[in-house]
Amino acid sequence: MNGNGATASPIETKSSGAVLPRIGPPLAIALLTLPILAGLAGTVLPALGYLPALDGTELTLRHFTDVLHRPGIIRSSVISMVTGVATAAISLAVVMAFVAGWSGTRAFARVQHLVSPLLSVPHAAAAFGLAFLIAPSGMIARILSPGITGWTRPPDILIVSDPLGLTMMAGLITKEIPFLLLVTLAALPQLRVAETRMLTAALGYGRIAGFMFALWPLVYRQIRLAVFAVIAFASSVVDVAAILGPSTPAPLAVRLVEWMNDPDLSMRYIASAGAMLQLGVTAMALAIWIALERVGAAIAQLLCHAGLRFRRDRITAWIALAMITSAALAIFAGLAILVIWSVAGLWQFPDALPSDFTLRNWMRALPRIADPLWTTLVVATLSAAIATVLSILCLVREGETRQSGNSRSLMVLYVPLLVPQAAFLFGLQLLFIGSGTDASLGALVLAHLIFVMPYVFLSLSDPWRAYDRRYEAVSAGLGRRRWATLFRVRLPMLLRSVMTAAAVGFAVSVGQYLPTLLIGSGRLTTITTEAVALASGGNRRVIGIYAFLQMVLPLAGFVIATMVPALLFRNRRAMQV
């Protein structure tokens, strides 16, 4: 499909463009920044004591000192900050060593196929899966017991919810590895990986060292914002922390939400001040990371200039392969265990499987599932559809103006992923409550859209930009209007990419916890909020059902995104994958 460079990028010059695409970029920028700015303002004011609804009209710093005097607040903050940095460092190290050690090999392609689907698994479902896998009464303990361990009862050790938050970090790492791997893979095609490998090998460098010295700085430049997003997410995550994280004390974000939902409304001041603390904690984590970047770059330069070849790197490469594979397998195994629990009858420790299977759990849960399921579907479908249309408008406009992909527009896309959710969702919730629109479908769709839009755009922009625009030139030459060209030529040809981007958006929406919890005000609930709410109860059969639905919904989205173009164009060979 690709033509030569000289003719591959023709463009309209005469007509100035239709009106609709013009509103795309401003609308997208407004969507990505205004709710966040308004939300931040709505959080800062109560933090400073200003909340007229609760008769707070006088500005004070009292609530900040209150927050800092909460028991264990320092520990909560440090756990959050360390989790942010450590999650990013470990997942990035694994991805880096894996890509450096294996790119271009068959193992690389296989792992890529293994890991990619995991991106669509909601964090909460993956966290539950991990918990059911490694808990003292989890699958691993059951398989090893009583034969190897001698346990006939689950041992009384704290694996899940360990005080240092190690299990929480492990859960986050297993989910962030697929994310970082995919953004790295997206950056690779623009680099000459195979040639560089040959060149560095000819100079006597080991595979990993050659990649790290010659290519990694270029890769990292492109994925840096994604790494920042991982830090921001891991340092402020609520659902994974509530499921796997410590409770004495809990990570900061979990405590914020508890304060926010406290029946004592005056706790909202403290929650808001805490959200500002969260902002500082995430900023601190990012600052530490940036310092680490400097140190890492300096060390790399030192090693590079010393001409060290690092030829014995097979052990490192194998460790990376082992880690990335086991992270993926852990999620898959966890999901399988969730399914088993959802249909488990009696299942005593240490039996590896239930003694009988039953649909009774499902029958009993179904009546309560219907409403959240419906909300999940409607909100995910609407937000994915709106984000897809908006992304297309932006990309059409980008094609008309030829101003694309500059670092500022990329930054705007990442804003919702870099600001801790609690810091602006608290304020946004107040705004919605103030206008009487909280717990309305529209407000919920809008809140989801903020997080769905970046992923949809990032997913669609690469295939959209890679499109051979000579097809459009041909169509215009045939006398076809711009809209006819868009709807009858470009969109059908890109249908698979468009539907995949929509499926990504759908999956992101299904997985949203905090926006749903806050903007839904507990009255509009989704599968994800219901599942996380069940976490403390510990009814594994019900959790299994909800978590199973959580992972099946995104999967269904991707199946539809694959099937529809395949069926529609079943007689068109060039349209097959």
Partner 1 sequence: MTPTDRGLYLDGVGIALAGRQLLEVTRRVDPGEVLTVMGPSGSGKSSLLAYIGGFLDPAFKARGRVIADGLELTSLPAEDRHAGILFQDPLLFPHMSVSGNLLFAIPPAIKGKQKRDELAREALAGVGLSDFDDRDPDTLSGGQKARIALARVLLSQPRTLLLDEPFSKLDQDRRDQMRQLVFSKARELGLPAILVTHDQADADAAGGPVIRIGEDNTQ
15 vs 57, beta carbon nearer partner 1: 15
Tokens of 169: 């970090």
Contact 449, 386 (CB under 8 A): yes
Q: How far apart are CA 568 and CA 447, in angstroms?
A: 33
- Report how many residues bind partner 1 under the rule CB under 8 A: 40
495 vs 533, beta carbon nearer partner 1: 495
68 vs 478, beta carbon nearer partner 1: 478
424 vs 464, beta carbon nearer partner 1: 464
10 vs 154, beta carbon nearer partner 1: 10
Q: Is 488 in the site for partner 1 (CB under 8 A)?
A: yes
Using CB under 8 A, pick the residue from 19, 295, 574, 577 that binds partner 1: 574
Using CB under 8 A, pick the residue from 158, 493, 533, 555 that binds partner 1: 493
Q: Is 482 in the site for partner 1 (CB under 8 A)?
A: yes
Using CB under 8 A, pick the residue from 69, 294, 523, 573 that binds partner 1: 573
Using CB under 8 A, pick the residue from 224, 470, 533, 558 that binds partner 1: 470
Q: How far apart are CA 257 and CA 369, in angstroms?
A: 24
Contact 128, 214 (CB under 8 A): no
Q: Is 523 in the site for partner 1 (CB under 8 A)?
A: no
Q: Which stretch binds partner 1 (CB under 8 A): 99-107, 179-187, 451-459, 567-575?
A: 567-575
The burial of 473, by beta-carbon neighbours within 10 Å (0-12 exposed, 13-18 middle, 19 or more buried), is given as middle
248 vs 403, beta carbon nearer partner 1: 403
Contact 150, 363 (CB under 8 A): no
Using CB under 8 A, pick the residue from 12, 66, 162, 258 that binds partner 1: 12
Greatest pairwise CA separation for the chain in angstroms: 80
Q: Is 463 in the site for partner 1 (CB under 8 A)?
A: no
Quick note: the x/- pattern for partner 1 over 390-429, rule CB under 8 A, is ------------x---------------------------
Among positions 20-79, residues that touch partner 1 (CB under 8 A) are none
From residue 543, give the alpha-carbon distance in Å to each of 48, 331, 495, 537.
39, 16, 36, 9
DSSP for 460-482, written as a single string? HHHHHHHS-THHHHHHHHTT--H
**Shortest Å distance, C-beta 501 to partner 1:** 18
Contact 273, 279 (CB under 8 A): no
Q: How far apart are CA 377 and CA 155, in angstroms?
A: 40
Buried b / exposed e across 8-28, counting CB within 10 Å, b at 16+?
Answer: eebeeeeeeeeeebbebbeeb
Q: How far apart are CA 393 and CA 172, in angstroms?
A: 34
Q: How far apart are CA 230 and CA 186, in angstroms?
A: 17
Q: Which runs of consecutive H residues, i.e. helices, occur in 307-351?
A: 314-342
Q: How far apart are CA 234 and CA 248, in angstroms?
A: 19
Helix (H, G, I), strand (E, B) or coil at 56: strand
Q: Is 295 in the site for partner 1 (CB under 8 A)?
A: no
Using CB under 8 A, pick the residue from 239, 313, 472, 530 that binds partner 1: 472
Q: Is 4 in the site for partner 1 (CB under 8 A)?
A: yes
Using CB under 8 A, pick the residue from 406, 407, 536, 571 that binds partner 1: 571
Using CB under 8 A, pick the residue from 14, 69, 294, 408 that binds partner 1: 14
Q: Is 321 in the site for partner 1 (CB under 8 A)?
A: no
Name the helix (H) or strand (E) containing 355: none
**Shortest Å distance, C-beta 457 to partner 1:** 23
Q: Is 477 in the site for partner 1 (CB under 8 A)?
A: yes
Three-class SS of 197-246: HHHHHHCCCCHHHHHHHHCHHHHHHHHHHHHHHHHHHHHHCCHHHHHHCC
Q: Is 485 in the site for partner 1 (CB under 8 A)?
A: yes
**Shortest Å distance, C-beta 140 to partner 1:** 49
Using CB under 8 A, pick the residue from 480, 533, 555, 556 that binds partner 1: 480
Q: Is 296 in the site for partner 1 (CB under 8 A)?
A: no
Residue found under tokens 């009464």: 137
Q: Is 311 in the site for partner 1 (CB under 8 A)?
A: no
Using CB under 8 A, pick the residue from 436, 479, 537, 577 that binds partner 1: 479
9 vs 149, beta carbon nearer partner 1: 9
Q: Which stretch binds partner 1 (CB under 8 A): 346-354, 366-374, 468-476, 499-507?
A: 468-476
**Shortest Å distance, C-beta 485 to partner 1:** 8
Using CB under 8 A, pick the residue from 107, 473, 533, 552 that binds partner 1: 473
Q: Is 15 in the site for partner 1 (CB under 8 A)?
A: yes
Tokens of 550: 């959580």
Tokens of 415: 């804003």
Q: How far apart are CA 29 and CA 23, in angstroms?
A: 10
Amino acid at 248: T
Tokens of 163: 């005080």
Amino acid at 153: R
* Residue 201: alpha-carbon gap to chain centroid: 36
**Shortest Å distance, C-beta 475 to partner 1:** 8
4 vs 57, beta carbon nearer partner 1: 4
Binding site for partner 1 (CB under 8 A): 1, 3-4, 6-7, 9-15, 402, 468-482, 485, 488-489, 492-493, 495, 569, 571-575
